[in-house]
Structure 1
């Protein structure tokens, strides 16, 4: 009998006591499950933690993350809201097509993590949902409106159906001749086809409607520059630079027009500014080449060689020193 009692005591000593039913214990278990991406194992632990402590922000956050990982986005949302997990909340809201709220949450989250690929992806997705919803409503409610024709033009343009796009843009202008942006779009169509003579009047019409639009003014100046009308081009490009400072496309063309009109100091200033603003761009590489030619004409051979070396390095895909 004594031996039996001793055996029972030893068995009781060898059996570990049951784990405490505490919030900390369940959170620890859930964390171990989530570390292994076993969200099905984590979810019941987190539900029990919230039964014990309904206001646990940590448990709400972890449960929201686990539910979202398993596709339960609607159920995850209130938990993520309680935990203020705006990154995951934005993703969950996107999955539920609550696009306006999703965009707001994602934009706020991106302020802290501006290059997060998931946030950027879902922001694009949410924006796409919102755009489609708005566009569908526009086509349904006002199919013959100028904006509907403009939208159809952009749809055709995305499909490379250029003639259909132009037709829809023209119909939009027939309905609303003062519709800003349409002449600019038509000008870009003509420019893309290499038709400078037809692009110019479209850009002029856009500038007349939107004299404060720096891009439209640059486009007009750029076309004039390509047509060899450098004095007119220079005037438009100088105005574009005042309307929208530090736009590298304007500055590059401004440098070319200034050089052609025998204003080397202005050309140098514009091209150096292109390099300062975006030193790794294709325009910056071209600015280095233009500066090398400018300095060589001025007899500044060392400066010319330096910019030529930078141009060549960038052309080969190397970062300039």
Structure 2
């Protein structure tokens, strides 16, 4: 934040322009006075020596007042004010905030209409964590110049630090209207909206920032926080409206799954099924939770129950096929063939079906499935391992070596555990040793199926 603040220096006032306008004003006044014959001492006589009429006297009095009364806030000594302002700027730049504060206050005493002086004094107060003082002088800067965008931004930051999110959001929005490209202001608008608990607005704001900074962890954290707060808000509303509903228990179960708390997920899925035994997706979710903690028989029973409710559930068929690959490859092939027929573009099921065909000795048919996975999920590394073994069974050693190389390249992009397994499997393959296991599929998280 400090670097941003230091770059937001208010500009030096246009002293020359001020002097020029003042000179024109005085010259114009003198000309009108001479034409009207208005005495600077107030006597109202015409140029010919006659008395002026009432309209001339009225106009003359205005012009005299214009010429003689000082412009509000006009510096009495422009060169001295300019010197003080420059000294204040230098002190602020080098971090001598006490000196800068004293000098800006003196500038304001001599030139109370100078908006930039209030703005810079606000920055000095902010840097010293004097947020109340910063807000007060920044408000004055904006009263003097409502189009001073950086002052709106600084005032928004001061209100944010004072935990006044509504005022902060208002000022930051004003700053963005004056300078829509200021990403820092957009970030703090999102933070103020989070502070205000307007999570929908915050999510919308951080989506804009994330489009500009797609790999910034701080922005992604704030965006995730906004959506998480929205989710919890929705769960809270559901809990208030229908605390004992199966939907409420399903949401709690899915939240527990996302946190990796499988035991809590199991309890909540079971509760949802007690409330509504035929709810679609609950047995599937319960089976998935059982499978993650190694209770494969319980998992298989839940997937079968899901199929009783929804016979064409290709996700349940896929999971049953994956489980059956461990013990009954023929049964696995039947489940997986049906899953692929229901959703031909689901790469996880296509890969599992190819593995089942390979175990049954149907190498060429297995290769067809593996090649489809390469098209459907180019980032998946394990399919190249299976292709390498299929090519080797067919005696196509050169193509097998290429697939192993590709397997290793893709595995390097993943975590250390995947890389170690890949290296071990490649070494065993090159040594023609029997394999005790296969690489686990590692599809992108964006491809993880969700049961609706």
- Give the number of the structure whose alpha-carbon radius of gyration is greater: 2
Q: In the comparison of the two structures, how many residue pairs are matched?
A: 297
Aligned to 1:234: 336
Q: Deviations over 1:242-295 (max 9, x none)?
A: 3xx3x543343233234345114413313423662x2xxxxx332222121111
**C-alpha RMSD of the superposition:** 3.9
Structure 1 residues 194 and 305: alpha-carbon distance in aligned structure 2, compared to 1, 3 A threshold: same
Q: C-alpha distance in 1, partners of 2:306/2:260?
A: 24
Structure number with the higher helix fraction is 1
Aligned to 1:222: 322
Aligned to 1:54: 146
Structure 1 residues 302 and 151: alpha-carbon distance in aligned structure 2, compared to 1, 3 A threshold: same
Pairing 1:185–2:285 present? yes
Aligned to 1:281: none
Q: Structure 2 residue aligned with 1:256, among 345, 348, 355? A: 355
Aligned to 2:276: 176
Structure 1 residues 58 and 293: alpha-carbon distance in aligned structure 2, compared to 1, 3 A threshold: same
Give the Å deviation of 1:217.
4.4
Pairing 1:63–2:148 present? no
Q: Retained in 2: the 8 A contact 1:94–1:102?
A: yes
Aligned to 1:289: 385
Q: C-alpha distance in 1, partners of 2:243/2:288?
A: 25
Structure 1 residues 159 and 109: alpha-carbon distance in aligned structure 2, compared to 1, 3 A threshold: closer
Q: C-alpha distance in 2, partners of 1:191/1:150?
A: 18
Pairing 1:126–2:126 present? no
With the length of structure 1 as denominator, give the TM-score of the two structures.
0.73
Pairing 1:300–2:392 present? no
Tell me the SS of whatever aligns to 2:337: helix
Q: C-alpha distance in 2, partners of 1:53/1:182?
A: 61
Structure 1: any 5+ residue segments left out of the alignment? 1-11, 279-283
Tell me the SS of whatever aligns to 1:135: helix
Tell me the SS of whatever aligns to 2:325: helix
Structure 1 residues 304 and 66: alpha-carbon distance in aligned structure 2, compared to 1, 3 A threshold: farther
Q: Deviations over 1:211-252 (max 9, x none)?
A: 67654443243334344224313313413543xx3x543343
Q: C-alpha distance in 2, partners of 1:249/1:198?
A: 22
Q: C-alpha distance in 2, partners of 1:117/1:30?
A: 33
Q: Structure 2 residue aligned with 1:96, among 172, 184, 196? A: 196
Q: C-alpha distance in 2, partners of 1:222/1:235?
A: 12
Q: Retained in 2: the 8 A contact 1:259–1:267?
A: no
Tell me the SS of whatever aligns to 1:54: coil
Q: Structure 1 residue aligned with 2:243, among 137, 143, 147? A: 143
Q: Retained in 2: the 8 A contact 1:90–1:105?
A: yes
Structure 2: any 5+ residue segments left out of the alignment? 1-76, 86-110, 177-184, 421-452
Tell me the SS of whatever aligns to 2:167: helix
Give the Å deviation of 1:110.
2.6
Structure 1 residues 16 and 106: alpha-carbon distance in aligned structure 2, compared to 1, 3 A threshold: closer
Q: Deviations over 1:69-126 (max 9, x none)?
A: 5654343111122234543222211122222322233234333333332332122222
Aligned to 1:269: 371
With the length of structure 2 as denominator, give the TM-score of the two structures.
0.54
Give the Å deviation of 1:188.
0.8
Structure 1 residues 134 and 225: alpha-carbon distance in aligned structure 2, compared to 1, 3 A threshold: same
Structure 1 residues 138 and 230: alpha-carbon distance in aligned structure 2, compared to 1, 3 A threshold: closer
